[in-house]
Chain A
């Protein structure tokens, strides 16, 4: 694998762009690996990369039933932030944001991470007090956070509906280091990085069964034959329950719901920030891609689903939010909308933990928040698999936290998966 550099760009410019190589191999599966990761999404690929990079575990395969980065990696609104407050989440997402800050250099691949500020609009004194508490907690725990008053907000983002909004805007809570990145580039960057360190990424290879012996996992049955494994890590958000049941482990505190995202036709530069609007029943987040499309999303479709397609009532809800907060978008046409499968957990927080089966590890339950989490998720999941013990930062991301009463319910919504946005 050749390294990208200014020199390689000049060299290929003089060489009619003939010198570029494949970014990763397309190997056939070997008989046995030390570690097999199921799911070549962002979390699986990041896990493989950090296993090889941080822990020198390089006899690793990543199995993918479709193509890499074809699931939720390509179905999100690419927002990156660490404005979580609950202990556990706070440290984890802050670590993830720090990894994002160095990711392009780390991977030698431009993930187009853009720290364009994450701006949460506030509409009432109570919301402002709540945000102040959260953002003060962030400041006290090694992060950046600030509150904007209305004149500052008007100056920074002039196009919002300041004049006749149903819920007038009174200010905003802002994280400057937050922003977004190019989702495909993250998947490709991790894939290229992992492959360069010797990891086999095996696409079109669906897992059909888990081979267990004496309470230990021995390998996986796949559509490309049986693959032996010293350790197996599951990173298959949306389909976690299916693999869990294949391993004979029963039920999980997870439901699969679908979340839609939308992109408009490209327009001239309009919005320099990630803007979040949530008041009453509305929930809406929007940013503008480098191509000019307005990328936005809202809530779940509200009913459980494994279908990767969205339904129309949510299209209407989200477009109503868009035009209520950014009325200037009224004549902009919607280009595409799509839907991904969320592992909605019972408290809105994830799982990075051991399982009742020896050498089988779980990475799941990311709700709406998997994209921003992917570097730290891979980082700590690799650490768990390599050392067979969870790092203290993810010590509460366990399945038994419900039994123990140490739930991490950031939204305070209770045990109803669809309510954890």
Chain B
């Protein structure tokens, strides 16, 4: 089991999360050319080593996270919210819990 330290919920099993994909992919402007869209939709670096990826805490706080993880050793280097502005909105209302 991978253990992902969700910034909102604390350290949780990865079975609570859904894997998204490569977090370095940025969709181009809608009127960008075919090449830009082709590359964004279909082409991947497929990193062997530390990569940025998205995970969805679907059976938890339902927030999207950006996880820095080694695809060879599965070591998790860092976890942060994918949408910091939403994270700020939440953290001003409730205090963050530690590990549960």
Name A residues whose Cβ lies closer than 8 Å to a Cβ of B: 239, 241-242, 245, 250-256, 302-307, 311-313, 346, 402-403, 415-418
Contact = CB atoms under 8 A, between A and B. Distances in A.
7 contacts: A250-B43, A251-B46, A304-B22, A304-B51, A307-B73, A313-B13, A403-B34
Interface string B34-59: 10001101111110100101000000
A251 B14 contact: no
Contact of B41 (A306, A311, A313, A415): A415
Nearest to A414: B41
B41 to A, nearest CB: 5
Nearest to B13: A313
Contact of B44 (A239, A254, A307, A312): A254
Interface in B30-89: 34, 38-39, 41-46, 48, 51, 53, 71-74
Interface residues of B, number: 25
Contacts of A239: 48
A416 B21 contact: yes
A365 to B, nearest CB: 11
Contacts of A305: 71-72, 74
A311 B74 CA distance: 11
Given A304-B53, A312-B1, A313-B14, A253 B44 contact: yes
Given A311-B1, A403-B34, A256 B41 contact: no
A309 to B, nearest CB: 9
| Listed residue (A305, A415, A417, A418) with the most chain B CB atoms within 10 angstroms of its CB | A305
A239 B48 CA distance: 9
B27 to A, nearest CB: 12
Contact of A304 (B1, B38, B71): B71
B72 A306 contact: yes
Interface of B: 1-2, 13-15, 18-19, 21-22, 34, 38-39, 41-46, 48, 51, 53, 71-74
Name B's interface SS. Answer: mixed
A327 B48 CA distance: 40
B42 A402 contact: yes
B19 A302 contact: yes
A306 B71 contact: yes
B38 A402 contact: yes
Q: Which of B2, B42, B43 has the most CB of A within 10 A?
A: B42
A239 B46 CA distance: 9
A256 B46 contact: yes
Contacts of A304: 19, 21-22, 46, 51, 53, 71
Contacts of B15: 313
A347 to B, nearest CB: 9
Given A256-B48, A305-B74, 7 more contacts: A251-B43, A251-B44, A251-B45, A252-B44, A307-B74, A311-B14, A418-B19
Contact of B48 (A242, A302, A311): A242
A246 to B, nearest CB: 12
Q: A-B pairs with the 3 shortest C-beta distances? A: A241-B46, A251-B43, A303-B19
Contacts of B45: 241, 245, 251
Nearest to A345: B42
Nearest to B53: A304
B42 A346 contact: yes
A313 B71 CA distance: 18
A303 B47 CA distance: 13
Contacts of A255: 21-22, 44, 46
**B21, B39, B44: residue with the most chain A Cβ atoms closer than 10 Å:** B44
A316 to B, nearest CB: 9
Contacts of B48: 239, 241-242, 256, 306
A303 B14 contact: yes
A283 to B, nearest CB: 16
A415 B40 CA distance: 11
Greatest chain A CB density within 10 A among B1, B18, B46 is at: B46
Contacts of A253: 42-44
A215 B38 CA distance: 24
